Structure 1
Amino acid sequence: MAKLFDMSKKVLVVVASTRPGRLGPAVASWFVRATTGTAIDLGVEVDVADLAEVGLPFLDEPEHPATGIYQHEHTRAWSRRVAAADALVFVTSEYNFAMPATLKNAFDYLSAEWAWKPCLFIGYGNTSAGTRGVQMARGVATSLRMLSIGGDIFLRIADDLSDGEVTETERLAARAKDALTELTRVADVLRPLYRADLEIVPAVSGDAPELLVLQRCCWVDEAIANETLDLPALVESEDEVRAALRTWTTWCVRSGGRLVGSVRAKRDGDTWNIGRLMVAPDQRHSGLGRRLLSFAESQAPAGVTEATLFTGARSERNQALYQKAGYSLFTEDAPAGAVGLRKPL
């Protein structure tokens, strides 16, 4: 058996301001330095995302973020980075009693990737030490279903920074360490809400009845989207599902003894064919589909150069999921009513 999800913890530190002469990178660097030992002790990996380097244009996605349908690679890259995080630290200044527009823009690009994760704010500024900007940002974070844990850190430029760098004191370092410790503890508690820690196991013949039920549940949406009931997943018998287990390597994911996800793959020359990626309807939007896909890719044997899969020509959500994972559409050799997607491995 293999763990489907990485149990290490990742904290994403987001530097909000992008203006010339900004202090955000220095504040973020101080936080990382001050918490290095604590992060090692807690098994935490800290990633700094400077929005000046991330380079998100003003929101340019035609679909609502809640759909998860992203047209642009800059959005997909931002999605992957936030989705990988277990907790967030937002380093933000205050402009005219508000957070920088760049932070609001970064928030607005995504939806599910933020949900149920704990967050902490580090504000900096002059008279208010950035408190009003943080207050505005906290409201947006809450609306995105993040949990603001409190214990935020506020730095007054006149008192806590000198020559563009944070004045390193034991008092500030202790606050940073305590903040990261608390953030990590809350992430451990919330983890089941945003990242199910499930095991993936090879399917056996006895799984055929449940696989049949699961694929029929999952392919109803496909039938509606593509206006056809003539889909193998809907018309196969239990014996046909069991026979497929002999020709495809198939994996299952269970939760509380219930089959909630599956994927299969087989080799064809230098191609790794992936199929029947399915997640129980009540488990969707949890990231399970993305992780099953990633797991299937990781099982490709030596010598394989690309992964391919097929989905309905009108299955926009599926196509968006695969394109976010790095797949490109193709139509040659695709079955009638379907499109193919491929990705170099």
Structure 2
Amino acid sequence: MCSTRPGALGPAVGAWVAEAIGPRARELGAELVPVSLADLELPFLDEEEHPSSGVYRQEHTRRWSELADAADGFIVVTPEYNYGMPATLKNALDYLGREWAWKPMGFVSYGNTSAGTRAVQHAKQVVTTLRLVPLGATVAIRIADATEQGRVLPDAARASAATGMLEELVRVAHALRPMRERARADSTPLISLPGAYVRQLTADDAPEVAVLQRCCWVDEALANDTLDLPTLRESVAEVREWLAAWRAWGLWRDGRLLGMVRARQTGADWHIGRLAVAPDLRGQGLGRRLLQLAEAAAGPEVRRFALSTGAASSGNLALYASEGYRTLSGAIDGVVSLAKDAQPILAAVGPAEVETVRPDPR
């Protein structure tokens, strides 16, 4: 809500918006977080550094940055002042930089003659410069027709328009997610695929992970003459469960999961598994780079990297051997365990400690 004027209609319009779209937001899994610029108490821009630097010295800027950064999209409730948006909205936009990039923005405007639509047109010129994506769907409220005694009157058509705007906001936010992630992803020198980036996987990625597993482990099933592989039978719920228990990384490009790897620590061992690259991208060294990325994530207390693969998975075995892994023992139930030292082991250990590792499910 943009108006900071005492007695403004903005809070009533904001309350109406929340009530109108709340049920549909819950169905879509979208969390609504009301923010009032009046409560933020932003002075006119008072940061020394340019917003694009992300260097904020003022507490009010850092607070505003955290709120905007956490959002996947915005609905702006704004009045129209003299054929334009209020200065408070322009000021709030000017405070930040990267927090806005590749996020959709919808508008609910209110005013007299034009129902606030000129404020929206004014704002769109600014938000596109900040790489925000304004929606086509808007809600315009003409004060004389739609309000009474400081509240917005119920109206089915207006509520339907607000719900439609929310649905468009969620769709566009989802479509722009790869752009947001690419803009924010840490540089990963190991990954040289143009346009690709690596980020940690979460439970929300379970459907994509399940699909990639089934694509990648068909070859393993054929090579090892078995369909009894967890990767081929796991449900999305089961994938979501192990994503919560492991650290996992995904290689993404344009919203597609291209590769992945997972790891977790057990004692002094760093278990690595589920190393996969989409079949159409194999042969480019991506699997090797994902393996190296997983190794680099191990803590200083880790003494050994451990993994397992099918006894007949010749390509996997060749990759691991080239990266310094050694076979620990013969195949057990068609699974070969491998390991390599993570760093020099200072304490003397017995042969049994060095040469045995419990196979982790592939």
* TM-score, shorter chain, exceeding 0.5: yes
**Aligned-pair CA distance for 1:198:** 3.9
Q: Residue in 2 aligned with 1:70?
A: 56
Higher relative contact order (CA 8 A, sep 6+): 1
**Aligned-pair CA distance for 1:248:** 11
**Aligned-pair CA distance for 1:173:** 1.0
- Taking the TM superposition and a 5 Å limit, the aligned residue runs for 1:1-345 are 15-195=1-181, 198-199=200-201, 202=247, 258=289
What amino acid does structure 1 have at the position aligned with 2:65? Answer: S
Q: Residue in 2 aligned with 1:209?
A: none
Output the CA distance in 2 between the equivalents of 1:248 and 1:73.
41
Output the CA distance in 1 between the equivalents of 2:21 and 2:119.
24
Cα contact 2:137–2:165 (8 A) shared by 1: yes
What amino acid does structure 2 have at the position aligned with 1:199? Answer: L
Output the CA distance in 1 between the equivalents of 2:129 and 2:20.
30
Output the CA distance in 1 between the equivalents of 2:150 and 2:110.
12
Q: Would the alpha carbon gap of residues 53 and 249 (structure 1) be closer, same or farther in structure 2, given more than 3 Å must change?
A: farther
Q: Residue in 2 aligned with 1:227?
A: none
- Deviation digits for residues 190-240 of structure 1 (CA, Å, limit 9, x no counterpart): 11111366427659xxxxxxxxxxxxxxxxxxxxxxxxxxxxxxxxxxxxx
Cα contact 2:42–2:92 (8 A) shared by 1: yes
Cα contact 2:200–2:247 (8 A) shared by 1: no
Deviates more, 1:140-149 or 1:194-203: 194-203
Q: Residue in 2 aligned with 1:322?
A: none
Question: What TM-score, normalized by structure 2, do the two folds share?
Answer: 0.53
What amino acid does structure 1 have at the position aligned with 2:79? Answer: S
- Deviation digits for residues 42-77 of structure 1 (CA, Å, limit 9, x no counterpart): 000001110000111111110000011111121111
Output the CA distance in 2 between the equivalents of 1:44 and 1:266.
40
Q: Would the alpha carbon gap of residues 161 and 199 (structure 1) be closer, same or farther in structure 2, given more than 3 Å must change?
A: same
Output the CA distance in 1 between the equivalents of 2:299 and 2:107.
43
Q: Would the alpha carbon gap of residues 106 and 249 (structure 1) be closer, same or farther in structure 2, given more than 3 Å must change?
A: farther
**Aligned-pair CA distance for 1:171:** 1.1
What amino acid does structure 2 have at the position aligned with 1:129? Answer: A
What amino acid does structure 2 have at the position aligned with 1:114? Answer: W
Query: Which aligned segments of 4 or more residues in structure 1 are displaced greater than 6 angstroms?
Result: 246-250, 260-267
What amino acid does structure 2 have at the position aligned with 1:140? Answer: V
Output the CA distance in 1 between the equivalents of 2:109 and 2:132.
18
**Aligned-pair CA distance for 1:172:** 1.1
Which one has the largest radius of gyration? 2
Output the CA distance in 2 between the equivalents of 1:126 and 1:249.
65
SS in 1 for 2:35: strand
What amino acid does structure 1 have at the position aligned with 2:179? Answer: L
Q: Percent of aligned pairs with the same residue?
A: 48
What amino acid does structure 1 have at the position aligned with 2:36? Answer: D
Q: CA RMSD in A?
A: 3.1
Cα contact 1:125–1:155 (8 A) shared by 2: yes
- Deviation digits for residues 254-281 of structure 1 (CA, Å, limit 9, x no counterpart): 99755589767679xxxxxxxxxxxxxx
Count of residue correspondences: 211
Output the CA distance in 2 between the equivalents of 1:249 and 1:101.
55
Output the CA distance in 2 between the equivalents of 1:165 and 1:181.
24
Cα contact 1:249–1:265 (8 A) shared by 2: no
Output the CA distance in 1 between the equivalents of 2:51 and 2:138.
28
